[in-house]
Structure 1
Amino acid sequence: MKSCIERRKFLSCAARAAIAAGLAPLMGCGRNNEAVPSTSPPASGGDERMAFKEKLEEMRAMPRDLVEKLLQQKASSYMQRAHHCAQSSFLALRDLFGLPGKEIVKALTPMPGIADTGSTCGALSGSLLILGMVYGRDEHELADWEAYQESLKPSRALCAAFKESYGSLDCHRVQEDTFGRCYRLTDPAELAQFQKDGATEGCTAVVSRAISLAASIILDDPNL
């Protein structure tokens, strides 16, 4: 009798163990009920390119004035949050065209006026990085000189259009055009005055202009 009870206990335990073993893969658990890391592969370059093409066609199907309105809304939203022309211009265009680039957002941190020294405008820098993502050569194409030269054409077109709008590519000159004077933003007193004079609003207008120019280059390119 005792041996029968022990045998039933053994079978019961074995059954529970088998059920648990069968459920473990379905529950995504490993030892100690720890979650098993996902083995799904990250998005490939081909997937990113496909996402960009789909978003590009979606934007082309929209009336251009609606695309412009969407861009301006994104520019205003990001500028209100970040107060940062380079990151805001990049993020607005990235969203519009479904591009990746989380790491680039952080890398753009010192780019407004190249670290606030009055050099290249951050709205232009952020927009140029988007053109680099769309037209630039990859790591495995570093020896392709022709691809490099071709990739510069859209960027030069953007620089020329931006310069036509503001007379310069430099932050100090853009400030003069927008605010009637330039500011030494490395000086706390000058920075405070810049903010008092409507820095976010004025720079949002510059960001809006830069991203509009960059978006037009992409949208109007028949080779994309």
Structure 2
Amino acid sequence: MEKDEFIKKIKETAEGYFERGEFFCSEAVVKTINDVLGKPFDDSVTKLASGFPIGIGKSGCVCGAISGGVMALGMAYGRNHGQAMNEKMLPMSADLHNYIKGEYKSTCCRVITKDFEFASPERKRHCVKITGKVAAYVAEKLIDDGEITL
């Protein structure tokens, strides 16, 4: 499978989880990337992402998709107790933050979704799109860095 086709599939997978109501943004990103990485963590890892939707527990702060993306990057670059910090972890996380901020002028859920009524299908479509965008971004970075092979 070619890179662009693979990334499109990742995007659609994450979006599908959210669109169908199986997961919220952060959970969809974590589930999708964990699966693509060959499940370095069992399926229960998705539970770690369950408090981040709607800007950290509905507080409207950091976009849950971004939080899920940072957790997904940690699957590849995170450390265990006693290990040195992987030199890629923090810059890759900052790059994701800056990418979304560049796209939406903010990383704050309440700002990114301010033009939508919360319960509206338009807001959900907007958030589904962001979720897919984050999953695709993370997957592309992991492919480019050799963490995911096609």
Q: What TM-score results when the alignment is normalised by the length of structure 2?
A: 0.85
Q: Does 1:78 align with 2:78?
A: no
- Structure 1: how far apart are the matches of 2:147 and 2:15? 30
Aligned 8 A contact 2:27 2:50 in 1: yes
Map of 1:1-224 to 2, 5 A cutoff? 62-79=1-18, 80-99=20-39, 100-112=41-53, 113-141=55-83, 144=84, 147-176=85-114, 180-181=115-116, 193-221=117-145
- Structure 2: how far apart are the matches of 1:199 and 1:94? 26
| Structure (1 or 2) with the larger CA radius of gyration | 1
Per-residue deviation, residues 143-175 of structure 1 (Å, max 9, x unmatched): x3xx25542111111111111111111111211
- Structure 1: how far apart are the matches of 2:57 and 2:67? 12
Per-residue deviation, residues 22-45 of structure 1 (Å, max 9, x unmatched): xxxxxxxxxxxxxxxxxxxxxxxx
Q: Runs ≥4 in structure 1, deviation > 6 angstroms?
A: none
Query: How much does 1:202 deviate?
Result: 1.9
- Seen in structure 2, the aligned counterparts of structure 1 residues 168 and 101 have a Cα distance that, compared at 3 Å, is farther
- Structure 1: how far apart are the matches of 2:61 and 2:145? 29
- Structure 2: how far apart are the matches of 1:164 and 1:97? 27
Unaligned 5+ runs, structure 1: 1-61, 182-192
Alignment match, 1:21: none
The structure with the largest helix share of the pair is 1
Aligned 8 A contact 1:89 1:210 in 2: yes
The root-mean-square deviation of aligned C-alpha atoms, in Å, is 2.0
- Structure 2: how far apart are the matches of 1:76 and 1:152? 26
Secondary structure of residue in 2 paired with 1:116: coil
Aligned 8 A contact 2:49 2:68 in 1: yes
Unaligned 5+ runs, structure 2: none
Per-residue deviation, residues 56-110 of structure 1 (Å, max 9, x unmatched): xxxxxx3122112211321232111325111011111222221324332112111
Kindly indicate whether structure 1 or structure 2 has the higher relative contact order, using CA contacts under 8 Å at least 6 residues apart.
2
Kindly, what percent of the aligned residue pairs are identical? 25
Aligned 8 A contact 2:7 2:140 in 1: no
What count of residue pairs does the alignment treat as equivalent? 145
What residue identity is the alignment partner of 2:78? G
Secondary structure of residue in 1 paired with 2:90: helix
